[in-house]
Amino acid sequence: MKEIEAEALTEITNAKEELALEKIRVKYLGRKEGIVTEALRSLKNLSLEEKKRQGPQINALKAKLEKTLEIKKRDLEEGKNKKTLDIDITRPGEKIIKERKITTGHLHPLTVLENEIKDVFRSMNFSVLEGPEIESEFYNFDALNVPPDHPAREMWDTFWIKSENAKTSKEKLLLRTHTSPMQIRYMESHEPPLQIVVPGRVFRFEATDQTHEVNFYQYEGLMVGKNISLANFKYVIETFLKRIFGKDIEFRYRPSYFPFVEPGLEIAIKFRGKWLEMMGAGMVHPNVFKAVHYNPRDYRGFAFGGGLERLAMVKYNIPDIRLFYSGDTRFTNQF
């Protein structure tokens, strides 16, 4: 009986399919010639004593085999079901393959770069903030040392917003021509030391070409404290450029003029064989400090304002600024 049991159990374990399992059942438990069935049947030829000894053993074996067969049968059935579930879940559904491909969205290259800029400045302890796109004449010009009759106003062709009843320059509205008004807004409500960066959209009423848009983005920087110098500016800006471009790039500083800085300078980067103006900058003008009621004798600071698209053009080697706003997905899908 022990031998039969071992043999039957091995066969059951090795059975690969239900048909094979049925054959094993017939072989051992079949009504006509099953080995165990035969053994039970032959009990009647034995002495009473032997019957008492062997009867329970054979019955126990019969029960055990029945149970094992049942479990194995269930396993095989489950295995079969599993097989039908054995699919590649990363594969798009049949319907989707046939009808349409699912395309996932992604960020616009300018958004990606703006996020990168914020990260770089945050890592240098700058706070990131935003300001209003509709500004007043006061914040966009007057407080930045550009009074109404100042010739420098011509540097920024402005979209004015009709505001007939406006009496003061704080009430006269326009689409901001640069992010610099946020210098004033922030200093009005904060005391130095401070260091901020302000990305945002700006507008200019000017003709477009390969490097000029009517609507573009700037990132404004401002750092004010007791002993801030151009050396601090140089360090911050060179660290910034290295982090954005991941390598040394060819750039130059040149003296420039902006009414709200003294001295003023501009930074250009060599791009496709030409110098491309990237940002204006300089040491905050004493009149700007006066406008926010800081004593110009107490504080010094630097400010800069750069063009986001220009930075992206150089970083991604894009020849024409207008591509950013073309809405052409063949362009944006490359990012």
160 is catalytic: no
Of the candidate residues 304, 312, 313, 324, the single one contacting ligand FA5 (CB under 6 A): 304
- Residue from the set 223, 307, 323, 324 that interacts with ligand FA5 by CB under 6 A: 307
Q: Is the Cβ–Cβ distance between 102 and 169 less than 8 Å?
A: no
Integer CA distances (angstroms), 176 to 135, 151, 229, in order: 5, 18, 28
Write down the least CB distance from residue 318 to ligand FA5, Å: 12
Smallest gap from Cβ 106 to ligand FA5, in A, equals 23
DSSP of 131-145: --SEEEHHHHTGGGT
- Tell me if 304 sits within 8 A of 199, measured CB to CB: no
Does the protein bind ligand FA5 through residue 181 (CB under 6 A)? no
Cβ-contact 213, 325 below 8 angstroms: yes
Catalytic residue among 303, 310, 312, 314: 303
Q: Provide, rounded to whole angstroms, the least separation between the CB of residue 212 and ligand FA5.
A: 4
60 as an active site residue: the answer is: no
Write down the least CB distance from residue 163 to ligand FA5, Å.
23
What sign does the dihedral 72-73-79-82 (CA atoms) show? negative
Task: Please confirm, yes or no, whether 243 is among the known catalytic residues.
Answer: no
C-alpha to C-alpha distance for 198 and 180, rounded to whole angstroms: 9
Query: DSSP secondary-structure letter at 125?
Result: T
The only residue of 182, 309, 314, 323 in contact with ligand FA5, by rule CB under 6 A: 309
Active site includes 303? Answer: yes
Which regions of 6-147 does DSSP assign to beta strands (E)?
127-128, 134-136
Q: Which of 72, 172, 178, 285 binds ligand FA5 (CB under 6 A)?
A: 178
Is 156 labeled as catalytic in the residue annotation? yes
Q: Strands 300-307, 274-284: parallel, antiparallel or unpaired by DSSP?
A: antiparallel
The dihedrals phi and psi of 111, each to the nearest 5 degrees, come to -65, -40
Q: Where are the beta strands (DSSP E) in the chain?
A: 127-128, 134-136, 173-175, 194-203, 215-225, 251-256, 261-271, 274-284, 300-307
Whether 218 sits among the annotated catalytic residues: the reply is yes
- Does the footprint of ligand FA5 cover residue 289 (CB under 6 A)? no
Site mask for ligand FA5 (CB under 6 A), range 188-207, x = bound: ----------------x-x-
Evaluate the CA torsion angle 89, 95, 98, 104 in order and state its sign.
Answer: negative
The reply to whether 184 sits near ligand FA5 by the rule CB under 6 A is: no
Chosen residue from 34, 131, 181, 280 binding ligand FA5 by CB under 6 A: 280
Minimum separation from the CB atom of position 227 to ligand FA5 (A): 19
**Shortest CB 141 distance to ligand FA5, Å:** 11
Which of residues 223, 278, 291, 314 is near ligand FA5 by CB under 6 A? 278
Rg of the chain over CA atoms, in angstroms? 41
Among positions 236-265, residues that touch ligand FA5 (CB under 6 A) are 258, 260-261
Quick one: which of 76, 277, 315, 325 contacts ligand FA5 (CB under 6 A)? 277
- Provide the CA 155 distance to its chain's centre, in angstroms: 36
User: What secondary structure letter does DSSP report for 324?
Assistant: G
262 labeled part of a ligand binding site: yes
Answer yes or no whether residue 282 interacts with ligand FA5 by CB under 6 A: yes
Which residues make up each annotated binding site? 262
Which residues make up each annotated binding site for Mg(2+)? 262
Binding site for ligand FA5 (CB under 6 A): 178, 180, 204, 206, 212-213, 216, 218, 258, 260-261, 277-282, 303-307, 309-310, 321
